[in-house]
Structure 1
């Protein structure tokens, strides 16, 4: 190296990274860590199917469990066939364990329903989706949102029952379940089976009232107001205010029945009856079926009408009419068949029979002595009929008959029918009377009477005219004078009159003459010839009173 050349610096490659790069590296690491934390902290994404998106807002509507946020709605879209709304929700990581196949969702918003008022807090905060955790072991990510909140959670303490009925619409979700008027449960689900064509009503009975459910328990519809009209008058029963508004279902073990074993199995099935009367009737399972043939109108006789013996129910009418045999081609002079049941449990309450065979044999024997059934008015206001059974001594003729597969219970025309027949017979006799001839004769008589009355009226008029004349008015005065003269003449023959005194003197003289003639008459009686020949002079008579 020469003295004139400048000094040269040594060049060496630097291998150390600058510390400035630590900042972005740390930032990237933090970002990756935050992304990892975000991903790992996120729960599963679920899809909720709902009928309407009313009140649902993306990013605002929360999903809560026990009032704790566990998710948020992230999307709202229509499904492929536009039949429902699909709501996408992002759940928290901790909420994953709640998502089972029995998990329930429903929208909480202001409601006024059968069970009361709820969701008033959402008036300010907005609607949210309530989650009820499931207990099943099978996970699920797609759910149907309920229209109304459930009555009780799946793990609630109590008993679930299923009632079946032939008709839907008898009960609604939330309707009360009553025991002796006290609410002990709710209707929580209503479905209809298209195969069996029966409605299913699922009840939830709260604990400890589930201990009231026995094998013999019966359920019936409660209308809130029960009005019954019978021979005793009107019977009005009013339930609770809630049942008065919404109705409900009541249950108990009917009186006189054994309760049976306790029901503990969930979703045990029971039959739902229309009323308590139907419950009582269904307990009479041992019965004899007969057909009664009536030759009178059965209007007013309905299925369920009682069959009574002296006011005591012994059976029930089942079908009115039973049928009309197809082999008959006309209805003229046909009897109407009515299917009836004579129920053993009703009869043995008064007469002891061991079984149906004994009851049948006894009835056959009673038929020979005049046991008959007849129609009788049960209610004059509604025209309802019942079948009255009694013994008619004049009905001694009986021959066993059958109608199809049923034996015939002999009948007799009821009292009202008999009265109708008698009235009809009387009307026929009246129709056969010569009413027209009688009316003609009566008309002639009336015409003659009218002429007579006119003649009498004419005579009366003439008489009145005659009496009004002056000569006629003078007649009474002349008659009065004649009567006075007659009275004066009669007075001349009185005791003080001259005629009477002259007659009295003549009678006295006649009496003296007769006294003087008595001796002559006596002599003539003694000697009839003394008037011709003289005889001895008779001695002077001596008065009897003069002898001493």
Structure 2
């Protein structure tokens, strides 16, 4: 049973253990080796593909966050801000950014960076797209060949990009007026550019305004072009009535500049200089340039109230100069003061209006003074009391000569119209003071008494007439009325007189008819005058 239940086991080969060599590599270790190789390759690739690192300084870190704020050029992402920290002097913040390798050529010396965020300005609203996506740093690539990695960011976005076609011009102005960055520039009322910046001259003498004219409109700017302020509304009153002019509603709100080339110079002169003068008005801008300048000094013995520096010097309605200075000088001989006025005249302005040739070359100040030319203060506006200097010929003026004192020729003057009127009124007042009003009053009193006596006599005479003459006149009027009534009764149609008159008229009519019949018979029988009338058969 036991042999049947437990059969003999077959003979199996015995396993022989083999000792493994401990230095043989295991396949399991290949996985970390491969991973390390891949990581190293990725690290090397990242290092080789990484672009330059730059720093940008801003006044504050508004809208800038490390690891989130991107750097974009034309809305294409080219980098990222990696860190933000304060500058050593704590006056600004320094943002460190890592750019892509392709952006290495963008780091020109004049490249510009700014933070794009929602902004509201007079020119409009910008950066609305960043309300949802968040702020980012915008970039504008410069044109310089030099390279750098440290930049100062702009606090406001630039008005124009470096790659925008057009030209930039510099205008010199006495004051900025209502201009601001972004103010439009017009040519024939068409917006062709804008103001891109302004700065005060180091000595404070004038303001430099930079304007950019877009292509192709920049070709309309030549050496003869004239620029002027086109801000607000220009109101002028002339013989044609009230004239109101403005470039656009934007120019009223934001200010603006307009330019034009005179019709005679439409061909244009090639630009040799990009600097121009910014005039206050269009009329001043389009005036012909003054080639000649002649200064004079005037002396007045009257008040200069209402005369200001810059007031016009007028010759029969033509402005040929302006007042440059106003002063006072003591005269010991008279123990009085002379009010001095320095003027500047431009004789060439008369040449520009002359059709017969050059005038200024024929003008001699000494000859003009000998012929009666004088300077006079006149009122330019009765409401404001503004004065101006008028040059004209006064043939009745006392003889005078053109004197030169202090290096300036002094042009003779005569009193102004208002001054002369005051003198006439003073003379009239003096004559009125000389009239003996007291004696005239006494004589007038005596005359009034005599007149009163005369009136009393007239009254007595009137009373006598009322008592005597009036009753007689009443009786005469009653008799006249009775006579008129008798005449009216006589002239009635049924009165006896009227009947007698009608009977007499009838008899006269019958007699006339008999005479007519006799005349007709004698006309037919003239012999009847001798023979008599023949008997009828």
TM-score (norm 1): 0.73
Q: Determine the C-alpha separation between the residues in 2 that align with 1:329 and 1:156.
A: 71
- The verdict on how the C-alpha distance between 1:124 and 1:331 changes in structure 2, with shifts beyond 3 A counting, is farther
Corresponding position: 1:246 with 2:241? no
Residue of structure 2 equivalent to 1:21: 29
Mapped contact 1:288–1:360 kept (Cα < 8 A): no
- The verdict on how the C-alpha distance between 1:26 and 1:348 changes in structure 2, with shifts beyond 3 A counting, is closer
Mapped contact 1:230–1:379 kept (Cα < 8 A): no
Corresponding position: 1:339 with 2:339? no
Mapped contact 2:229–2:280 kept (Cα < 8 A): yes
Residue of structure 2 equivalent to 1:391: 393
Q: Determine the C-alpha separation between the residues in 1 that align with 2:166 and 2:299.
A: 52
Post-superposition offset of 1:184: 0.8
Mapped contact 2:297–2:340 kept (Cα < 8 A): no
Deviations 1:523-546 (A, max 9, x none): xxxxxxxxxxxxxxxxxxxxxxxx
Post-superposition offset of 1:281: 5.1
Mapped contact 2:119–2:125 kept (Cα < 8 A): yes
Corresponding position: 1:359 with 2:370? no
1:63-212 matched pairs, under 5 angstroms: 63-168=71-176, 171-195=179-203, 197-212=205-220
245, 264, 275: which one aligns with 1:269: 275
Gaps of 5+ in 2: 1-15, 477-537
- The verdict on how the C-alpha distance between 1:347 and 1:326 changes in structure 2, with shifts beyond 3 A counting, is farther
Q: Determine the C-alpha separation between the residues in 1 that align with 2:430 and 2:130.
A: 82
Residue of structure 2 equivalent to 1:372: 374
415, 427, 432: which one aligns with 1:425: 427
Q: Determine the C-alpha separation between the residues in 2 that align with 1:240 and 1:195.
A: 34
Post-superposition offset of 1:433: 3.6
Post-superposition offset of 1:287: 2.9
Post-superposition offset of 1:62: 1.3
Q: Determine the C-alpha separation between the residues in 2 that align with 1:73 and 1:326.
A: 74
Gaps of 5+ in 1: 1-7, 468-472, 485-548
Mapped contact 1:303–1:319 kept (Cα < 8 A): yes
User: RMSD over aligned Cα, in angstroms?
Assistant: 3.8
Post-superposition offset of 1:239: 1.6
Post-superposition offset of 1:436: 5.7
Post-superposition offset of 1:84: 1.8
Residue of structure 2 equivalent to 1:293: 299
Mapped contact 1:215–1:262 kept (Cα < 8 A): yes
Residue of structure 1 equivalent to 2:493: none
Mapped contact 2:107–2:148 kept (Cα < 8 A): yes
- The verdict on how the C-alpha distance between 1:147 and 1:378 changes in structure 2, with shifts beyond 3 A counting, is same
TM-score (norm 2): 0.74
Mapped contact 1:304–1:318 kept (Cα < 8 A): yes
Mapped contact 2:312–2:322 kept (Cα < 8 A): yes
Q: Determine the C-alpha separation between the residues in 2 that align with 1:226 and 1:204.
A: 24
Corresponding position: 1:318 with 2:323? yes
- The verdict on how the C-alpha distance between 1:205 and 1:154 changes in structure 2, with shifts beyond 3 A counting, is same
Q: Secondary structure at the match of 1:151?
A: coil
Residue of structure 1 equivalent to 2:410: 408
Mapped contact 1:42–1:91 kept (Cα < 8 A): yes
Q: Determine the C-alpha separation between the residues in 2 that align with 1:28 and 1:254.
A: 78
Q: Determine the C-alpha separation between the residues in 2 that align with 1:309 and 1:264.
A: 36
Residue of structure 2 equivalent to 1:522: none
Post-superposition offset of 1:447: 11
Post-superposition offset of 1:22: 1.6
Deviations 1:270-311 (A, max 9, x none): 222222233245712313222232333333333444433433
Q: Determine the C-alpha separation between the residues in 2 that align with 1:302 and 1:203.
A: 33
Post-superposition offset of 1:423: 0.5
Q: Secondary structure at the match of 2:153?
A: strand
- The verdict on how the C-alpha distance between 1:385 and 1:230 changes in structure 2, with shifts beyond 3 A counting, is farther
Deviations 1:21-58 (A, max 9, x none): 22222222222222222222322222112223222222
Corresponding position: 1:46 with 2:54? yes
Mapped contact 1:48–1:144 kept (Cα < 8 A): yes
Mapped contact 1:62–1:128 kept (Cα < 8 A): yes
Between 1:421-430 and 1:330-339, the stretch displaced more is 330-339
Residue of structure 2 equivalent to 1:225: 233
Q: Determine the C-alpha separation between the residues in 2 that align with 1:405 and 1:144.
A: 54
- The verdict on how the C-alpha distance between 1:378 and 1:234 changes in structure 2, with shifts beyond 3 A counting, is farther
Q: Determine the C-alpha separation between the residues in 2 that align with 1:446 and 1:60.
A: 112
Deviations 1:439-467 (A, max 9, x none): 6x4897699799x79x97xxx9x99xx99
Q: Determine the C-alpha separation between the residues in 2 that align with 1:348 and 1:166.
A: 26
Post-superposition offset of 1:12: 7.9
Residue of structure 1 equivalent to 2:490: none
- The verdict on how the C-alpha distance between 1:42 and 1:402 changes in structure 2, with shifts beyond 3 A counting, is same
Alignment coverage as a number of residue pairs: 457
Corresponding position: 1:279 with 2:321? no
Q: Determine the C-alpha separation between the residues in 2 that align with 1:330 and 1:69.
A: 85
Q: Determine the C-alpha separation between the residues in 1 that align with 2:284 and 2:271.
A: 23
- The verdict on how the C-alpha distance between 1:389 and 1:19 changes in structure 2, with shifts beyond 3 A counting, is same
Q: Determine the C-alpha separation between the residues in 2 that align with 1:201 and 1:303.
A: 25
Q: Determine the C-alpha separation between the residues in 2 that align with 1:40 and 1:432.
A: 113
Larger radius of gyration: 1
Q: Determine the C-alpha separation between the residues in 2 that align with 1:18 and 1:389.
A: 116
Post-superposition offset of 1:402: 1.7
Q: Determine the C-alpha separation between the residues in 1 that align with 2:170 and 2:415.
A: 47
Q: Secondary structure at the match of 2:259?
A: strand
Post-superposition offset of 1:260: 4.7
